[in-house]
Structure 1
């Protein structure tokens, strides 16, 4: 649930204010409900051996050391809108093969035709409201031919009170991500998992860029 946002200036400003505080407690608190992050990395490693990796919404850099362990030779780029989150991430990555970018993800980030072999969204897309479709399409543009996307995120909840609460935290929980991902990429994995006895579901999606 990281802070790179879609193109709306108002949404971007709201998320930046949100993370001015939450960046301080993010790593200490999110372990209790951002489930499936390690599983998503493990599954991605089973289908890809990337040379260039992009994590969209890298936040405090929680996933970056795990990506480095699994893909020691890869160049990793993390992008996030929040300067506060990236300042924390910078303390976790001290190698010359990792780059951090502060910007929104309303358009592809690759340059000079050098695209990525793996794009990761870890609890980011559900916060792109509006703009989640644009972010998925940007990821498709950022991927090299045959490249893979990995997504782990909130899916849905049958409880309206919980959906409203998550909405106050900028999260949309309507199961809206997965159909668009399936249309945009060749699905390799698309599963839902129950959290806290069914209060909500989260999902993991792996897909390959269509030729």
Structure 2
């Protein structure tokens, strides 16, 4: 299954990856707000699930120079771009990336780390078919006292109906499905863990931003 996902994502991004960052900045809203909200302490570990071209990892590493960063992606094509971006930014000593599936990722085997103080998804849950499994796996990797953060497409409840329909039709062309039940899923997990959940819907619901804080 992981091999199938890699093939699918590589076919999609083999050419797109070269233009990805230049085009996505206009509609992947809220990514920089998530990076600003990470606030890792010195030496803490930050994991991005679905790191793509490495754009977020590089920015986060530059913003929080005393933290350590890790990223995984199922697309080897995107990881090629990420390695180039990390090298250009000269942050390779603090940023490590690897090929892995979000639903089965074993960080101890891949990075020699069992858990992370911050784990985040940035516009990737909407592209992961088994997003429930990916979310469960991510939560299992959050260290006590740490946070899981998510930014992704929201329900667009504040947008005109016609615009919302057009947006969702267009997103479907790229195998993107907004996760309308993300808050419900996270709320269930927060109750089970005794964690604290906050959810925001900026840009008239265009995006949704969630932070789940796990108790120490």
* Distance in 2 separating the partners of 1:173 and 1:62: 21
Change (3 A) 1:177 1:188: closer
1:58 aligns with 2:51: yes
Q: 14, 17, 24: which one pairs with 2:18?
A: 24
SS of the counterpart of 1:193?
A: coil
Higher relative contact order, chain-length normalized (CA < 8 Å, sep 6+): 1
Q: Is this contact kept in 1: 2:6–2:75, CA < 8 A?
A: no
Of residues 69-78 and 29-38 in structure 1, the stretch that sits farther from structure 2 once superposed is: 69-78
Structure 1 position 105, deviation (Å):
1.0
Q: Is this contact kept in 1: 2:2–2:101, CA < 8 A?
A: no
Unaligned 5+ residue runs, structure 1?
Answer: 1-6
TM-score (norm 2): 0.82
Change (3 A) 1:110 1:103: closer
Change (3 A) 1:20 1:209: same
Of residues 84-93 and 104-113 in structure 1, the stretch that sits farther from structure 2 once superposed is: 104-113
Structure 1 position 86, deviation (Å):
1.1
Q: Is this contact kept in 1: 2:154–2:207, CA < 8 A?
A: yes
Task: Tell me which protein shows more helix as a share of its residues.
Answer: 2
* Distance in 2 separating the partners of 1:146 and 1:19: 36
Matching residue of 2:73: 80
SS of the counterpart of 1:117?
A: strand
Superposition map of 1:130-169 within 5 A: 131-157=130-156, 158=161, 159-169=164-174
Q: CA RMSD in A?
A: 2.1
TM-superposition CA deviations, 1:132-182 (whole Å, max 9, x none): 000010011111112101111001245334322211211112512221122
TM-superposition CA deviations, 1:105-126 (whole Å, max 9, x none): 1124321663111001000001
* Distance in 2 separating the partners of 1:113 and 1:29: 34
TM-score (norm 1): 0.84
* Distance in 2 separating the partners of 1:9 and 1:164: 27
Change (3 A) 1:57 1:28: same
Matching residue of 1:4: none
Number of matched residues? Answer: 198
Superposition map of 1:109-148 within 5 A: 109-111=106-108, 114-129=114-129, 131-148=130-147
Q: Is this contact kept in 2: 1:109–1:142, CA < 8 A?
A: no
